[in-house]
Amino acid sequence: MKKIVIAAALLMSALSFPSFAEGVKQDASQKWTDARKRATAERVRQECLHAWNGYKKYAWGHDEVLPVSNQPRDWYGVSLLMTPVDALDTLHLMGLTKEADEARALIDTKLSFDQDVEVKAFEISIRLLGGLNSAYQLTGDPRLLALADDLGTRLLPIFESPTGLPYVSINLKTGKVSGVDSCPAEAGSYLFEFGTLSKLTGKKIYYEKAKRAVVAVYDRQSPLGLVGATMNIETGKWTSDTCQVGALVDAYYEYLLKCAILFGDKDCERMWRSSIASVNKYVADETHGGLWYGQTNMNTGERQATHYGALDAYFPALLALNKDLPRAKRLEDSCYKMWTLAGVEPEQLDYSTMTITSPGYVLRPEIIESAYYLYTDTKDPKYLDMGSMFLDSIVKYCRTDTAFTALDNVEKKKQGDDMESFFFAETLKYLYLLYAPKKTLDLGKVVFNSEAHPIRRYFSP
């Protein structure tokens, strides 16, 4: 019990365009004083409470709330408490103690993975396994670790392929696996959650299986040091030769660096150093006076497309974590241009023409995540200005009487009817941390998984 208390205490202390300057001219009367930052953090906190109360009123005990029709939604026909698990560490960090206690009680008493349902393993890993790991470190609640261990055991059969690459889906009750068409973002992105579970439980198998999978992706890179977008996990053959940093590939690159930091894993560090050098050489694109990352043929290095989107906007944060601040700052300026094009970022645009190619906005957090990392590293108030603009836009266009909703079209500001659990886990968390006192979370002592669940570092550099 003493170790649990110490671990929880340590994490709580840790859970301490035109160019942007041309586009936003700061009013001298609106400088970012400590009082203004506290007020903005409190505003985010109240918006989180608004969304949480909407979930409680219309979807308590279900995965998500539909924030326009006010109906509950379960991903697989039965509830896995997606929103309570994803939101729990955010509620703790914001000091919403009553709400956090209610969520934890619901999880402790109602969450069961003994369900005859086929689930997408990657999504379940980053949201539920990652959320349970983090919440256990925060609270010391042994029931949360028991649930994580049970889930990890149920997911292990995904790694039993001829190549060691994981199958896409699994039945939580029977262990039957399916889905051979995968991508690096799924196949190579389990080590963070499974590695953490290995450290928490002492069971080496979790680390070993997930480590084998990420190495299996890396070993299939091209002579240029690039990976493709999709692959067959049983043959190990690439089914798409497109290399990019966003959708289908993002979490793979993210976890190479983060697992090197979190666990002091030298193999991950080596794979990351090699990979980022190739990505910067072949995928980065200097155009129209800005820095973007597009699509490149993994075998030839030739440019295939000039698409960039909301998912790609995590990359400035990753560059900042890699201490490459010049690139990180320039790329975040490009992300800012993407957001201001229509007042809310689109899912995707063609940066060579600055035209929107996919007009939805599903409440994604990545651009806010990058602003948070860059402000943490630079203390440049322009990132606070950015965050304030992101918050204003989300409240103006996405807020409903119940919670917040995705937009079907950012140009027309047409609302949909969907609020995925990552809105609590990531979007609201990063907005809050951007303005909250440093003692709320010390980024130097934790590493976030892809769903923004913070885990205390197991390796001190």
Question: Which residues are catalytic, by number?
Answer: 123, 250, 347, 366
Q: CA 348 to CA 357: how far, in whole Å?
A: 6
Residue 295 in contact with residue 242, Cβ under 8 Å?
yes
Q: Who contacts 29 (Cβ-Cβ below 8 Å, separation ≥6)? A: none
The continuous run of DSSP H or E covering 178 comes out as strand 177-178
The strand pairing partners of 170, in sequence order, are: 119, 177
Q: Who contacts 368 (Cβ-Cβ below 8 Å, separation ≥6)? A: 387, 390, 427, 430, 431, 434
Q: CA 172 to CA 212: how far, in whole Å?
A: 22
Cα–Cα distances in angstroms (integers) from residue 374 to residues 295, 327, 330, 387, in the given order: 25, 11, 11, 11
Q: How do beta strands 64-66 and 181-182 pair?
A: unpaired
Q: Who contacts 153 (Cβ-Cβ below 8 Å, separation ≥6)? A: none
Residue 126 in contact with residue 421, Cβ under 8 Å?
no
The continuous run of DSSP H or E covering 280 comes out as helix 266-282
Which residue shows structure tokens 């989180």?
Answer: 48
Least Cα distance to 282 among 305, 302, 307 occurs for: 302
Q: Is residue 293 classed as helix, strand or coil in its secondary structure? A: strand
Least Cα distance to 54 among 423, 359, 394 occurs for: 423
Least Cα distance to 282 among 315, 309, 245, 316 occurs for: 245
Assigned token pair, 383 = 């990132």
